[in-house]
Amino acid sequence: NAGVTQTPKFQVLKTGQSMTLQCAQDMNHEYMSWYRQDPGMGLRLIHYSVGAGITDQGEVPNGYNVSRSTTEDFPLRLLSAAPSQTSVYFCASSLSTGTGLYEQYFGPGTRLTVT
């Protein structure tokens, strides 16, 4: 298993440009999520999905869109990049089995700089 993969590893955008960060997992996990990591702030949840066709907002969703057409993929779209979106983005996935405890598996991250 490759686990959780993310592409690209690094990206530089100009203000106003759009792009999609890719995330894929091969563990048949139902739950997937996107976090951003900023210095001194830990990780904050952007969007999450509990299964194909179902998504919801996290703590900091503004400026980002997601969709979940397959179990494996959960892309994150930046509609019009802003310098405030400069961050490291992590995708995570976990099994969903009701009310139990699930370990979340994280991808290696995408470092995004918006100039």
Q: Is the peptide bond before 8 cis (omega within 30 degrees of 0)?
A: yes
Q: Is 55 in the site for another protein (CB under 8 A)?
A: no
Regarding 87 and contact with another protein (CB under 8 A), the answer is: no
101 binds another protein (CB under 8 A): yes
Check residue 19 for interaction with another protein (CB under 8 A).
no
Distance CA 6, CA 3 (A): 10
Q: Which is nearer to another protein, 19 or 50 (CB)?
A: 50
Contact window for another protein (CB under 8 A) among 16-24, 28-36, 60-68, 73-81: 28-36
User: Looking at this protein, which amino acid is placed at residue 81?
Assistant: A
Cα diameter, the chain: 43
Q: Which pair of tokens denotes residue 59?
A: 């703590």
Using rule CB under 8 A, residue 68 touches another protein: no
The DSSP letter of residue 25 is E
- Can you tell me whether residue 22 is helix, strand or coil? strand
Residues near another protein (CB under 8 A) are 4, 31, 33, 35, 40-45, 48, 50, 58, 90, 92, 94, 96, 99, 101-104, 106-109
